[in-house]
Amino acid sequence: MAQSYIPEGTMLICTEMKTPMDNTIISSRSKTDVFKASKKVYLLTEKDYKLEKAFVCNINSKFWGGLKALCTIVAIGALMIATVATGGLALVAFGVAVAAVGVSAFASDREIAHDCDITLQSKWINVHDKVKINGSFALLQNSKMICKKGGALTMVVDPVLARAAAQKIAANNQAEYEAHLNSQMIQGTMFLISSKGDPRALAVGLPLTIFNYAEGEDKKIKDRANAIEQRITNSNPEDEKGALASVLGAVPDQKATETAVRDAIIGTGAEVVYKNPAIVTAVINYPAVVSASMRSAYPTAALRLNSSLVFAGVQRSFTNPGISNGLKEGFLWGMAGAAVDGGFDVYENSLYDDTINYFTEFLSVQNQKSKGINIIAKTK
């Protein structure tokens, strides 16, 4: 199909844009002398990556916004506990609150930062297979940039279509962002309730919860980033599993998914101890610590479960009425947390799937039907 070449000023759409906005690619290659004479704008190539403006990236917003929401709830709860605790326990609770506020403030600052300069390390696909401009293959209507951060971008020649697409994608991403924040506020509340108001348990549990959140969300981001080009090009559609697969691990490897489900249910066990002999001694004195070493293909639910197991073990170790009872209680809290994670992830991934399907199945088709500039490329 004949496609138009792409001049500077053509509107740019990103699958991770959280706010609708007009944006474009600026020619950034070392040599630029081929342009559309009527408007004196350069024709773009695969070596042009620089965005005119930074998008508000949903990947960045979700990660740091979720951490901010989680720590804000913990900070509020810890301050409430500090007002009723006495002596040293009050100081411990206040210290937890201060730490949570600090992390929340840091996350808030990071949330408004942008990573769009990472496009300079990204790549274009579906470029012209023969025609080069200044030594690089020319961009066409169906060309797409695969961002190293995890999104995909395309140039849309019809401004009306581009603005409608920006509204659609931004609305999905905003809904996904809000769902993620709600999920983390619930997790923070469950964390506080499961502590039973013990500042010492909060002090031990907060670092572990933050670590587990970061580990889990980072894994999700990497899973999406690793799969984005395949999904955009539909190069291997038989592996497309949608939202449910994302909840069970977002990986095509069935064995890895089964392992993730098993780990999320079991949380800890002999296999972990066997693979980590260095912690056996610690387990004798601190049984719940074993669960902190477990990792899985679907980390958020599994690590949330482990966090509760360790949390319960720590809490019971202070009063020592029966650590096994504490671990059982921690298991139930962990399963509740896993259910919250899984439920919200189903919804979040359904929004993401809708965005990707719209981007690939509707926007791409309509964009190729749109009239571009009067310089048409013929491709094989």
User: Can you give the pLDDT of all 380 residues of the chain as single tens digits?
Assistant: 578 888 888 999 999 999 999 998 887 766 665 555 555 678 899 988 888 888 999 999 999 999 999 999 999 999 999 998 888 889 989 999 999 999 999 999 888 877 787 888 888 999 998 888 888 899 998 899 999 888 999 999 999 999 999 999 999 999 999 999 999 999 888 888 877 788 887 887 788 788 878 888 888 888 888 888 888 877 554 444 443 344 334 333 444 444 444 444 444 443 343 344 444 443 443 333 333 333 333 445 555 555 555 555 555 555 555 555 555 665 666 667 777 777 888 899 899 999 999 998 899 888 888 776 555 444 55
Cα–Cα distance for residue pair 126/139, rounded to 1 Å: 8
Closest CA to 302 of 274, 262, 275: 262
Q: Each residue of 13-52: b (16+ CB within 10 Å) or e?
A: bbbbbbebbebbbebebeebeeebeeeebbbbbbbbbebe
Cα–Cα distance for residue pair 151/154, rounded to 1 Å: 10
Helix (H, G, I), strand (E, B) or coil at 240: coil
Q: What is the DSSP string of 44-105?
A: PBTT--EESS---BHHHHHHHHHHHHHHHHHHHHHHHHHHH--HHHHHHHHHHHHHHHHHHH
Q: Residue 17: beta bridge partners?
A: 57
- The contacts of residue 78 (CB under 8 Å, 6+ apart) are 93, 94, 96, 97, 100, 192, 199, 202
Reading the block at residue 345, the tokens are 């992830």
Name the DSSP letter for residue 9. T
Cα–Cα distance for residue pair 368/141, rounded to 1 Å: 6
The torsion angles phi and psi of 303, rounded to 5 degrees, stand at: -70, -30
Q: Which residue has the tokens 């944006």?
A: 23
Relative orientation angle of helices 58-84 and 159-195, to the nearest 10 degrees: 30
The CA-based diameter of the chain, rounded to the nearest angstrom, is: 82
The torsion angles phi and psi of 13, rounded to 5 degrees, stand at: -120, 140
Per-residue CA distances from 65 to 106, 114, 188, 249 (Å): 10, 13, 13, 22
